[in-house]
Amino acid sequence: MKQPILQLTNIHKSFPGVKALDGACLNVYPGQVMALLGENGAGKSTLMKVITGIYSLDEGDIRYQDKPVRFNGPRDSQQAGISIIHQELNLLPELTIAENIFLGRENTNIFGAINWSVMFEQADKLLKRLKVKHKSSTQLSELSLGEQQMVEIAKALSFKSKVIIMDEPTDALTDSEVESLFDVINELRDEGYGIVYISHRLKEIFEICDDITVLRDGKFIAEKPVSSMDEDKLIELMVGRRLDEQYPRIESTHGTVCLEVKELYAKATHGVSFTLNHGEILGISGLMGAGRTELMKVIYGALARESGDIILNGQIINPRNSQQALASGIAYISEDRKGDGLVLGLSVKDNMSLCALKDLSTGWQLDHKAEATSVTDFIRLFNIKTPSMDQIIGNLSGGNQQKVAIAKGLMTKPKVLILDEPTRGVDVGAKKEIYQLINKFKAEGMSIILVSSEMPEVLGMSDRILVMHQGQISGQFNVKEADQEKLMACAVGKNNNGVAA
């Protein structure tokens, strides 16, 4: 067995209310590609941030080149020779390739002027090594995404890195770009670099990696050579057997069709069809970037539809904006509370009633009394912990903010309620309360779409489950036949179940 160049053992890291890493381990060997695998939220990103020193760790050891180390930040770790290439590239499109590579480390003379010729020469050498057919004086924005990735790698090489970590490097690449990336990775491996490859495309893992490390719930699960694995074994390791959290399921009375989506096409949605019954919870599973949020926003009218129909109770509605969707009876609760879910600077009351103000006013004028009454009702019903309804919502905890967001959607008395990651950033206690509320609405006959990255949540709450992969539905299950392995297989695009792709 080779000696690892970078060795993380028994890493612990907690955030308020969440244990993100609970004894995670990772070994990186020189001249080998290590795959790091796990579900969304398994702790992969947190572990990367611990390596580079963005997060300080609570407990555990990091050994690098046989010495214990602690990095104080990305700059520190980069100087030491550990480079990360993030999913979203950290490059400046307005600058040349060379300027991007040497940003902050420009070769200057004593007056502070840049030695352009030296810089271009060095950059050209790096590009040649990676077989990029551009001069380093080219502006970055002229490059394709794949080529930009190569620039990131060139930057890593320019630091004389010994360890290169790639986070979902192929997400935005075309097939031929993926191929040339793999060529480069193979070369780097032969030259003795230690590489960490994070991806949820299993096919690539088998193609390029030597070993795998699996994390689950922040815990180290296994380190195995790829040759000893197959896809099914991998999925089993990633998903594991989890002690079921308690999901208060209630059986649905099989209702009639409420919402029907037919052959829907949009920017990140490629021919999606499904139905949703009255009094049913339809779970939507899939990995990040599978196009779930985009699909929901198309149905809600917030993103443009290209073709296909959205039919509510037998009527084609095809909302062109959110007003129309709300008016027809579709409410959407965003996954991103801070970004487009709530107005954090306004009060609980103002946020909660925002969608429903029309019903709470006579003509122009707000009916403050009616507003206060219905907000107070919802605060009580949802058990929202706030000193008053005039409290600024940004001061509430994540769970209480989420309850306000859901109440906001419900105030419009929707027929279809779309909940996008309703328990993200919510503590365990509030989670359960939210589940109970969702079930309550279901029992009252509301049709609910539950988008979630947490498979146990989808399995525990839904009546039927759709799995999305690259903007399409790759699996459709009745909850009784579904398990995490099956969902994961569809989510990574291994299986197609149910619908013609």
CB of 327 to another protein, least distance (A): 8
Q: What per-residue string of b and e applies to 386-421 under the rule 16 or more CB within 10 Å gives b?
A: beebebebeebbbbbbbbbbbbbbbbbebbbbbbbb
Q: Of the two residues 287 and 330, which places its CB atom closer to another protein in the complex?
A: 330
CB of 449 to another protein, least distance (A): 16
Spell out where 267-373 has E strands.
269-277, 281-286, 305-312, 315-316, 330-333, 361-362, 365-366
Reported as half-sphere exposure (CB side, CA atoms, 13 A), residue 130 has a value of 26
Q: Of the two residues 145 and 357, which places its CB atom closer to another protein in the complex?
A: 357
Of residues 388-417, those binding another protein (CB under 8 A): 388-391, 408, 412
Of residues 410-449, those binding another protein (CB under 8 A): 412
Taking residue 216's Cβ as centre, other Cβ atoms within 10 Å add up to 21
Measured in degrees and rounded to the nearest 5, phi and psi for residue 190 equal -65, -30
Interface segment toward another protein; rule CB under 8 A; list 60-68, 179-187, 353-361, 462-470:
353-361
Question: Are residues 12 and 60 in contact, defined by beta-carbon separation less than 8 angstroms?
Answer: yes
Among 190, 387, 480, 481, binds another protein (CB under 8 A): 387
CB of 294 to another protein, least distance (A): 14
Site string for another protein, 296-315 (x = CB under 8 A): ----x-x-------------
Under the binding rule (CB under 8 A), the answer on residue 327 touching another protein is yes
Among 16, 244, 339, 500, binds another protein (CB under 8 A): 339
Q: Of the two residues 248 and 345, which places its CB atom closer to another protein in the complex?
A: 345
Measured in degrees and rounded to the nearest 5, phi and psi for residue 271 equal 70, 65
Tokens representing 394?
A: 């940004």
Residue with tokens 């990735």: 149
Question: Are residues 269 and 307 in contact, defined by beta-carbon separation less than 8 angstroms?
Answer: no
CB of 293 to another protein, least distance (A): 12
Three-state DSSP state, 46: helix
Under the binding rule (CB under 8 A), the answer on residue 346 touching another protein is yes
Reported as half-sphere exposure (CB side, CA atoms, 13 A), residue 368 has a value of 2
Closest Cα to residue 33, out of 150, 188, 152?
188
Q: Of the two residues 64 and 332, which places its CB atom closer to another protein in the complex?
A: 332
How many residues form the binding site for another protein (CB under 8 A)?
35
Site string for another protein, 268-297 (x = CB under 8 A): ------------------------------
Among 121, 142, 340, 483, binds another protein (CB under 8 A): 340
Q: Of the two residues 197 and 378, which places its CB atom closer to another protein in the complex?
A: 378
Question: Are residues 349 and 371 in contact, defined by beta-carbon separation less than 8 angstroms?
Answer: yes
Q: Of the two residues 312 and 479, which places its CB atom closer to another protein in the complex?
A: 312
Among 254, 267, 368, 440, binds another protein (CB under 8 A): 368
CB of 257 to another protein, least distance (A): 24
Query: Computed over its alpha carbons, how large is the radius of gyration of the chain?
Result: 25
Distance of alpha carbon 24 from alpha carbon 32, whole angstroms = 20
Measured in degrees and rounded to the nearest 5, phi and psi for residue 114 equal -80, 135
Which residues, 6+ apart, have CB-to-CB distance to 246 below 8 Å?
A: 432
CB of 408 to another protein, least distance (A): 7
CB of 451 to another protein, least distance (A): 15
Question: Are residues 304 and 481 in contact, defined by beta-carbon separation less than 8 angstroms?
Answer: no
Interface segment toward another protein; rule CB under 8 A; list 34-42, 70-78, 217-225, 381-389:
381-389
CB of 420 to another protein, least distance (A): 11
What residues make contact with another protein under the rule CB under 8 A? 300, 302, 321-323, 325-327, 332, 334, 339-346, 350, 354-355, 357-358, 361, 364-366, 368, 387-391, 408, 412
